[in-house]
Amino acid sequence: MQLSSLSHTSITHKDKKKKMGIELQNHQSHHEEASPAEEPMSRWLINTPEPPSMWQELIGYIRTNVLAKKKHKRNKTKNSSSNLVYSCLKSAFPILSWGRQYKLNLFKKDLMAGLTLASLCIPQSIGYANLAGLDPEYGLYTSVVPPLIYSTMGTSRELAIGPVAVVSLLLSSMVRDLQDPVTDPIAYRKIVFTVTFFAGAFQAIFGLFRLGFLVDFLSHAALVGFMAGAAIVIGLQQLKGLFGLTHFTNKTDVVSVLSSVFHSLHHPWQPLNFVIGSSFLIFILLARFIGKRNNKLFWIPAMAPLISVVLATLIVYLSNAESRGVKIVKHIKPGFNQLSVNQLQFKSPHLGQIAKIGLISAIIALTEAIAVGRSFATIKGYRLDGNKEMMAMGFMNIAGSLSSCYVATGSFSRTAVNFSAGCETVVSNIVMAITVMISLEVLTRFLYFTPTAILASIILSALPGLIDVSGALHIWKLDKLDFLVLIAAFFGVLFASVEIGLLLAVGISFARIMLSSIRPSIEALGRLSKTDIFGDINQYPMANKTAGLLTLRISSPLLCFANANFIRDRILNSVQEIEGEENEQEVLKENGLQVVILDMSCVMGVDTSGVFALEELHQELASNDIRLVIASPRWRVLHKLKRAKLDEKIKTENIYMTVGEAVDIYVRARSTSHELC
Amino acid sequence: MQLSSLSHTSITHKDKKKKMGIELQNHQSHHEEASPAEEPMSRWLINTPEPPSMWQELIGYIRTNVLAKKKHKRNKTKNSSSNLVYSCLKSAFPILSWGRQYKLNLFKKDLMAGLTLASLCIPQSIGYANLAGLDPEYGLYTSVVPPLIYSTMGTSRELAIGPVAVVSLLLSSMVRDLQDPVTDPIAYRKIVFTVTFFAGAFQAIFGLFRLGFLVDFLSHAALVGFMAGAAIVIGLQQLKGLFGLTHFTNKTDVVSVLSSVFHSLHHPWQPLNFVIGSSFLIFILLARFIGKRNNKLFWIPAMAPLISVVLATLIVYLSNAESRGVKIVKHIKPGFNQLSVNQLQFKSPHLGQIAKIGLISAIIALTEAIAVGRSFATIKGYRLDGNKEMMAMGFMNIAGSLSSCYVATGSFSRTAVNFSAGCETVVSNIVMAITVMISLEVLTRFLYFTPTAILASIILSALPGLIDVSGALHIWKLDKLDFLVLIAAFFGVLFASVEIGLLLAVGISFARIMLSSIRPSIEALGRLSKTDIFGDINQYPMANKTAGLLTLRISSPLLCFANANFIRDRILNSVQEIEGEENEQEVLKENGLQVVILDMSCVMGVDTSGVFALEELHQELASNDIRLVIASPRWRVLHKLKRAKLDEKIKTENIYMTVGEAVDIYVRARSTSHELC
């Protein structure tokens, strides 16, 4: 080649950097001349130390990510082993840390918040238990044990724990496929407890092995779509209670539910249910409207459901409306949570299915709780420890599954009330749990006459909060593909099932990531005038191309089996296009394309297919008298090239530290060759 | 903040680039002063045009990738429509292009190559048909129609088309689950034809929609492992023929086959089969050894199988060995391929399964053919058009399925023979097909006495070529993860099944890609002394960190839901570590960490979760009095930041064109502030 023959000609240097590069080409001949200050840049590149091997990296990863971080090494050596146990305990139970500084004035605030929370929680829990296909008391149980466990282990100060609408829907819609709750409620309940155990176990495992990233797989957009779809599905399910219907579909999709409602309305039904339900729904929505107008009146919407329950129950009891077809809750078993250890079904033939439902519930519950917890933590200016949160959620659900609870998590609506009511610590959760416990003992008899329509209207009133229209609009403005994920989750939940909605959303999200790896963009670069910066010529239309040079940047973190052929073909096509243009314009061969510079600054790794593709690229270009130059290869890439002896084939002098260096050397060599001619 | 208050103080400039950056901060005040030559770099960044929208990109992608490239626009406008049709035809049938220049001296070479090919092909085809669970004639049929179709449409000049061992094994092992070939060979055959049709249809669709990348999903490493595993499985299957066993397992894994062989050998068996098979196996292997020693004697290994068949058949015929327990092929139906259109089973209850088998066969067949074709094309110095190859393969298999053939593809062993025999064009395939056709008419009666042991030894002799030990060693040296893929494919095929082996290999390959997106590396950067280059401080230990600055580079092409939280947490952890060290060393606050520079040059896109994570990062850093600076954001990322109004929150003056610019401005502002103090 023209250029390499130049490496031994003497050149007068203008620019230090240019000199460095040329020197590299003949650094074997007069190596000693280069003073340390003028060391050629590319020699730095070639002489970099070996990157850590895969095993070293794996061990490092496990040490930093899976094992707990041991930051307090100095303390450990000083302290005794009993203190070590205490510090471990403190790490697992944050209550031991902040509990000591807990003061009376904090408790006053927490007490108020806890009582407000309980007044919202009791009717909601009964309603959600109904949604989950369980008897009302199980909702109340779920508002006792999990909040107590969470308050000792959780790191959030605002999160209000208990049953939530979406998880209740999820459970009932998926467990129903295994066991019908109407024909055999006991068997159904056993499966629900087992699912709860699995959900807790999965959550604890995620926390223990720091697999918190699994929660991230459900992107924000997917969650917005999923929640909105679930809200509509839940709302439609409530039509059963609101209209007091008896025959109702088991399916959750819109079409089945609407046709079921339509058919039922043709049969005789009791309009009184609807009158009670809708009038109290209007009352609760009005209360919420007032609360939104004036933030100080936050307790009005928080109390409204309880007031509605009390009023509606009194009306039914006094007017004896039960005899006129108003459906009532009837018997609620009084007393605290009962042990349910012996009800767990580890020998069920559906164990795989149960574990799967547990996994899905675990992820949905965690995603919701962490999203809610994180947003309130950001407002108060502290950071949530995702892994500890998962541990806390896991243990609270395991404990719950042993004490007749179903899957609990952090609820958005109740956390917002807790926050508005001025809670300071998770003590508000303890207050709430104790209040619910007392009411389980005292109030259950009173709830006998509560109309089911009122429960439907309480659930319905909570739904608008799940539909985040402004969030969806924001996503539409920002990212169309994210919006597609949202829409897929929404319509998937609405028209197919909860699982299909989730699967679609996660599938599209990952397809997008895969696509960016399979079809990376290859950008032509140009120099921004009077700088050493090379930019995408589409992004910077003022960037100058250098004649005889083609500078391309590979924008993929891996040059691997999935994209190596694509990248090679794209580069060869670009070269062919340029050569085609040159032939049309009848450019002389010596003024034509001579060098392809490959900017590999974004490529983090390369596998055997990638190395092979680079080798083929080098050969094909060489057969067209074009030189392949690699600029700014990363550590591991360079190491692989050395291993594959590709640096010898491409020649070490064709590997440069930066694109600028490579271009400068080419331009200089070219102008010198013209001078020599 | 200290720094931003500096933006309106007057500074004497030493360095042009530094001046540019400072000017950006107050470019609203004296904008007109900047001459075009001294335009601040970051203004270029901010004023870049809008990137193409998703729709524009999608349309562009379809235009360039899915629709055929229309390069000859000028010709088209000049020529008549009949010429257009002709050029389309020429594109679909390359034979129309090169056929006109075909000369007699080329034909001489092709004739020789074709005849050599046929002598190898006839015994191999019978053996592979046996492996596929079909009668011998179907292997011969498959060596007639597909090569003829391929020769008109294919772009490779060396590829020898016909049945191959791996695809035959794949077909029999998967179709066997749907239909046993022994109890109902006709039904089995119908399913095989339908699978062949689906395989062809998938291949044609891949070619038509330019989905060639699907073939890349089976990486080179996976293929090496898969082929080696398949070779061993095929070899074990041949023990049946070699020992003349009657009872044999249907499964393909090592354990079942070996135990089956072990059990069978306890029953009486005919050692004569083994004597014939193994002696001719030694003969064929010897012939191959001679051929390898002297390249001119390539025809010896090529002819050896046919010679063995002829000799063995004669021996059996003359010695009447059949009566002494030697198993023979018996009846082969004479005559050409028969139509099998009416045998395709599109109404089968297993249609989904059949289509799946078709898809797997299509991909395996294509992967093998394209790998073989590409390597020989590289030797001869031309490029294979992957999409045209897939079209050709697709149509040849569709045609095959209509004419009693099973899945055909390019065979490595026969292509090598074809190449050594000096073939010039695909005419050698035509010669081979015609020869096989003639032998179907003439030779089938002769093959009645061919012992099955000889077929087993022919297949066995082809297997060592499938086991690429040096390739595996190369992969081990180059990339441990690729080797893991290889091992997974190998042991998966060996101990479980063909499908599980493939699934494992593809799964691990993709998990690796996903992992690089989910857990991208975040590198701390330092300046290489006396340059503007910032490198990973692990790669370049001599790189200098600037006090008060933390420069981090995100090495992921997407800042998205799957990694946004991870990246945010990693950055915040790095900041906390530095602050912890500063506290230990009791560094003054004003000398402590003040700026975090985020080098986003590798981030190609950002979704809503990514934007949100950046926003949170900015807030959390701001609450610690640390400024977030974004350096060299890409086109689309910058656009998204603008859309999300994040550029206003972070402030436009904190977005820089390069890391160097950002660092320079910080250093300058800091030293000026010290001077002012």
pLDDT score of A147: 93
Chain B residues whose beta carbon lies within 8 Å of the beta carbon of residue A620: 383
Question: Mean pLDDT across chain B, nearest whole number?
Answer: 80
Indicate the pTM of the whole model: 0.77
Domain of residue B379 covers 104-512
- Give the number of other CB atoms < 10 A from CB of residue A74: 9
What is the rounded distance in angstroms from the CA atom of residue A263 to the CA atom of residue A257? Answer: 10
pLDDT at B347: 83
Report DSSP state, residue A653: G
A441, A460, A479 — which closes off a domain? A460
Is residue B65 in a domain? Answer: no
CA A130/CA A273 separation, integer angstroms: 16
Residue A90 lies in a domain: no
The partner residue sitting opposite B607, judged by closest CB among A54, A479, A520, is A479
Interface test with A, best of B41, B561, B602, B638 (most A CBs within 10 A): B561
Measured between CA atoms, the residue of chain B closest to residue A600 is B602
Write down the pLDDT at residue B43.
61
pLDDT per position as a tens digit, B365-391:
988 888 888 778 877 777 777 888 899
pLDDT value of residue B676: 62
In this prediction, residues B335-350 reach a mean pLDDT of 83
pLDDT for the residue numbered B44: 63
Q: With an 8 Å Cβ cutoff, are B635 and A474 in contact?
A: no
Task: Show Cβ contacts of residue B4 under 8 Å, excluding neighbours closer than 6 positions.
Answer: B25, B627, B651, B653
B566 to chain A, closest Cα gap in Å: 7
Q: What SS3 class is residue A247?
A: coil
Domain end residue (candidates: A428, A443, A460): A460
- B137 lies in the same domain as B274: yes
3-state secondary structure of A64: helix
**Are residues B387 and B494 located together in one domain of the fold?**
yes
pLDDT range class, residue B75, cuts 50, 70, 90: very low
| B363 shares a domain with B225 | yes
Q: Are residues B485 and B339 in the same domain?
A: yes
Note whether B446 and B589 are same-domain residues: no
- Shared domain for B532 and B492, answered yes or no, is no
Q: What CATH number does the domain containing B549 carry?
A: 3.30.750.24
Cβ separation A566–B386 shorter than 8 A: no
DSSP B528: P
**Is residue A313 domain-shared with residue A447, that is, in the same domain?**
yes
Cβ neighbours of A619 in B, within 8 Å: 378
Report yes or no on B36 lying in a domain.
no
Residue B665 lies in a domain: yes
Our separate counts of H helices and E strands in chain A read 30, 10
Top mean-pLDDT range of A429-438, B205-214, B534-543, B589-598: A429-438
Considering the domain architecture, whether residues B567 and B500 belong to the same structural domain is answered as: no
| Residue B216 distance to chain A (closest CA, Å) | 6
Q: Which of A536, A562, A657 lies at the smallest CB-CB distance from B533?
A: A657
Contact residues on chain B for A558, CB-CB shorter than 8 A:
512-513, 516
- Res B68 pLDDT > 60: no
Does residue A121 fall inside a structural domain?
A: yes
For residue A401, being part of any structural domain is answered with yes
Cα distance from A473 to chain B (closest Cα, Å)?
12
CB contact under 8 A, A562 and B533: no
Do B280 and B191 have their domain in common? yes
Q: Please state the φ and ψ torsions of residue B167, each to the nearest 5 degrees.
A: -65, -35
pLDDT at A265: 75
Which residue of A607, A612, A616, A632 to mutate against B (max B Cβ within 10 Å)?
A607
Instruction: For A624, name the nearest residue in chain B, comparing CA atoms only.
Output: B381
* Same domain membership, residue A556 and residue A432: no
Place of tokens 């009023």: A311
pLDDT along chain A (677 residues), means of 10: 37 39 39 41 65 73 57 48 77 80 84 86 87 88 92 88 90 86 88 94 89 77 87 83 74 81 76 84 87 79 83 85 78 80 84 91 88 79 81 93 92 83 87 90 82 84 84 88 91 85 87 84 84 80 82 88 87 86 73 86 87 88 88 85 82 82 84 69
Alpha-carbon gap, residue B516 to A602, rounded angstroms: 13
pLDDT value at residue B664: 85
B28-66 pLDDT, tens digit per residue, is 333 333 334 344 566 666 666 677 776 777 777 666 655
> What is the DSSP code (8-state) at residue B589?
G
Q: For A28-37, b where at least 16 C-beta lie within 10 A, e where not — what string?
A: eeeeeebeee
Complete edge-to-edge strand list for the sheet that includes strand A627-631: A534-536, A521-527, A549-555, A595-599, A627-631, A655-656
CB of B513 closer than 8 Å to CB of A562: yes
Q: Are A14 and A603 in contact (CB under 8 A)?
A: no
Residues A553 and A414 in one domain: no
User: Given B479, B611, B634, which is nearest A607 (Cβ)?
Assistant: B479
Inter-chain CB proximity B532 and A528 less than 8 Å: no
Residue B633 lies in a domain: yes
Could you tell me if B487 and B528 lie in one domain? no
For B608, the closest of A475, A560, A607 (CB atoms) is A475
**Has residue B587 got a pLDDT over 50?**
yes
Q: Which of B480, B512, B544 is the last residue of a domain?
A: B512
User: B59 lies in a domain?
Assistant: no
Question: What pLDDT, on the 0 to 100 scale, is given for residue B79?
Answer: 55
What's the pLDDT score for residue A420?
A: 80
The better pLDDT of the pair B492, B77 is held by B492
Q: How far is B211 from chain A (nearest CA, A)?
A: 11
C-alpha distances in Å from residue B621, one per residue of A139, B565, B614, B650: 41, 15, 10, 11
Residues of B in contact with A608 (CB under 8 A): 219-221, 474-475, 478-479, 482
Which residue in B477, B531, B562 is closest to A513 by CB distance? Answer: B562
Name every chain B residue with its beta carbon within 8 A of the beta carbon of A15: none
Residue among B219, B555, B640 minimizing CB distance to A604: B555
The beta-strand segments (E) located in A72-126 are none
Query: How many domains, chain A?
Result: 2
